């Protein structure tokens, strides 16, 4: 057992899904547009293919897109010659900027690319090997962080609780184990969580297509609800915690996450349900003062016009499709990172945990 591991969790038996595989030649991504009925890896052989896969949500979830982008840099390096890391960094900058532009809200993307850039700048002739080591480190550190957060987050939950989660924050969205879903895995293993509810997460259905399927692989029974059933569920007394992930956590604790998270936080406060955000420190962005400064990704209206390729909306309708929202810090009871738990986040507590 590693010191990040959750007591009572059988890692060998559970948590076997891995969305990102590096073969030594190419990057394989478990195609999340096709799950749950088709389990198939898409192969990327260039950084442009990785950028396109991130944009298309073939790979998704803040930590996973950071890891995929790091491997994208390794693939881009195949196409250049450079005597040292400084020269390689200059030549790879266009590819890194292209990867960075694939999705705007999750800070893990820019964070992983910065790590690759810093690695290059401190490398000599060995820069190719150092890039590969750094991409491996980004992935293995993410897995360790998730296991640690599983322990820390589960410890906040009283035995026998019900929890509601949103979007997909599991192995599919990370190097493995998951963030909010990692807390749920650990909480179920320790009998702290008696019942798990997952919201569908319109329009892309990460909850319905991914989360309940992923939990089913681990024999964890989850009950799917329509997003619009959340407040009614809370009123019934069936859930004591809402547990979600994050795409960017600002210096004051404001948190961007999948669209619909904000309304869950408002409903949770109204009903006395506690609200937990679980994310690795790679999701913390101390350079962004508060949620107003976060760019919220808006995607094509077409994502709202049908389900599974079947059109459900009349022709000629206008739709607005922001895919993230910001939950203000004062609606968050706890932010859990691998560095510890921040209760009732505010600028001073964030600074104490993460510096400036």
Residues 6+ apart with CB under 8 A from 274: 156, 240, 241, 242, 268, 333, 334
Is residue 60 at the binding interface for ligand MRU, with CB under 6 A as the rule? Answer: yes
For residues 232 and 303, give the distance between their C-alpha atoms in angstroms, rounded to a whole number: 26
Contact in structure between 260 and 325 (CB atoms under 8 Å): yes
> Closer CB to ligand MRU, residue 127 or residue 324?
324
> Closer CB to ligand MRU, residue 243 or residue 267?
243
Of residues 6 through 25, those in contact with ligand MRU by CB under 6 A are: none
Is residue 337 at the binding interface for ligand MRU, with CB under 6 A as the rule? Answer: no
Pick the binder of ligand MRU from 82, 107, 264, 323 (CB under 6 A). Answer: 323
Is residue 169 at the binding interface for ligand MRU, with CB under 6 A as the rule? Answer: yes
CB of 126 vs ligand MRU, minimal distance in Å: 32
For residues 18 and 82, give the distance between their C-alpha atoms in angstroms, rounded to a whole number: 33
CB of 325 vs ligand MRU, minimal distance in Å: 10
Of residues 205 through 234, those in contact with ligand MRU by CB under 6 A are: 206
Which span (54-62, 114-122, 152-160, 333-341) binds ligand MRU, by CB under 6 A? 54-62
The rounded radius of gyration (Å) of the Cα atoms in the chain is: 20
Whether 142 is catalytic? no
For residues 292 and 290, give the distance between their C-alpha atoms in angstroms, rounded to a whole number: 6
Torsion of CA 352, 354, 355, 356, to 10 degrees: -120
Which span (15-23, 76-84, 111-119, 166-174) binds ligand MRU, by CB under 6 A? 166-174
CB of 279 vs ligand MRU, minimal distance in Å: 7
> Encoding tokens for residue 37?
């009925």
Q: Rounded to the nearest 5°, which phi and psi values hold at 179?
A: -95, -85
Residue spans of alpha helices (H) in the chain: 47-56, 62-77, 85-100, 107-121, 127-154, 180-189, 212-217, 230-235, 261-271, 347-354
CB of 195 vs ligand MRU, minimal distance in Å: 21
CB of 29 vs ligand MRU, minimal distance in Å: 13
Of residues 233 through 262, those in contact with ligand MRU by CB under 6 A are: 245-247, 257-258
Catalytic annotation, pick one of 247, 254, 285, 333 = 247
Question: Rounded to the nearest 5 degrees, what angle is found at the Cα of 255, between the Cα atoms of 250 and 256?
Answer: 110
> Closer CB to ligand MRU, residue 31 or residue 247?
247
For residues 7 and 32, give the distance between their C-alpha atoms in angstroms, rounded to a whole number: 30
Instruction: List, in sequence order, every residue forming a beta bridge with 27; answer none if it has no partner.
Output: 22, 44
Is residue 148 at the binding interface for ligand MRU, with CB under 6 A as the rule? Answer: no
Residues with active-site annotation: 247
Site residues for ligand MRU per CB under 6 A: 60-63, 106, 167, 169, 173-174, 179, 206, 245-247, 257-258, 323
């Amino acid at each position: 057992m590693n010191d990040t591991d959750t007591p009572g969790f059988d890692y060998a038996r559970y948590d076997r899904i891995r969305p990102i595989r590096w073969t030594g030649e190419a990057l394989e991504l478990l195609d999340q547009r096709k799950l749950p009925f088709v389990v198939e890896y898409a192969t990327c052989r260039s950084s442009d293919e990785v950028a396109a896969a991130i944009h298309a949500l073939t790979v998704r979830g803040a930590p996973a897109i950071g890891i995929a982008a790091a491997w994208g840099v390794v693939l881009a390096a195949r196409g250049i010659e450079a005597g040292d890391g400084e020269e390689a960094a200059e030549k790879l900058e266009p590819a890194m900027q292209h990867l960075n532009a694939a999705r705007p809200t999750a800070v893990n993307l820019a964070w992983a690319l910065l790590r690759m850039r810093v690695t290059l700048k401190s490398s000599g002739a060995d820069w190719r090997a150092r890039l590969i080591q750094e991409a491996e480190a980004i992935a293995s550190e993410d897995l360790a962080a998730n296991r640690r957060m599983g322990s820390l987050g589960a410890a906040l939950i009283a035995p026998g609780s019900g929890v509601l989660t949103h979007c997909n924050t599991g192995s599919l969205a990370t190097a493995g184990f998951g963030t909010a879903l990692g807390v749920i895995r650990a909480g179920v293993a320790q009998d702290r969580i008696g019942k798990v509810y997952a919201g569908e997460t319109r329009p892309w259905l990460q909850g319905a297509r991914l989360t309940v399927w992923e939990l089913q692989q681990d024999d964890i029974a989850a009950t799917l609800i329509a997003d619009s059933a959340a407040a009614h569920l809370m009123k019934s007394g069936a859930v004591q915690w809402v547990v979600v992930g994050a795409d960017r956590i600002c210096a004051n604790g404001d948190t961007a996450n999948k669209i619909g998270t904000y309304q869950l936080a408002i409903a949770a406060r109204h009903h006395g349900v506690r609200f937990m955000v679980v994310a690795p420190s790679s999701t913390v962005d101390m350079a962004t003062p508060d949620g107003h400064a976060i760019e919220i990704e808006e995607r094509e209206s077409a994502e709202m016009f049908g389900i599974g390729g079947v059109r459900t909306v009349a022709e000629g309708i206008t739709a607005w499709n922001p895919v993230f929202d910001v939950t203000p810090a004062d609606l968050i009871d706890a932010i859990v990172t691998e560095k510890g738990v921040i209760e009732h986040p505010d600028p001073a507590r964030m600074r104490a945990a993460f510096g400036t």
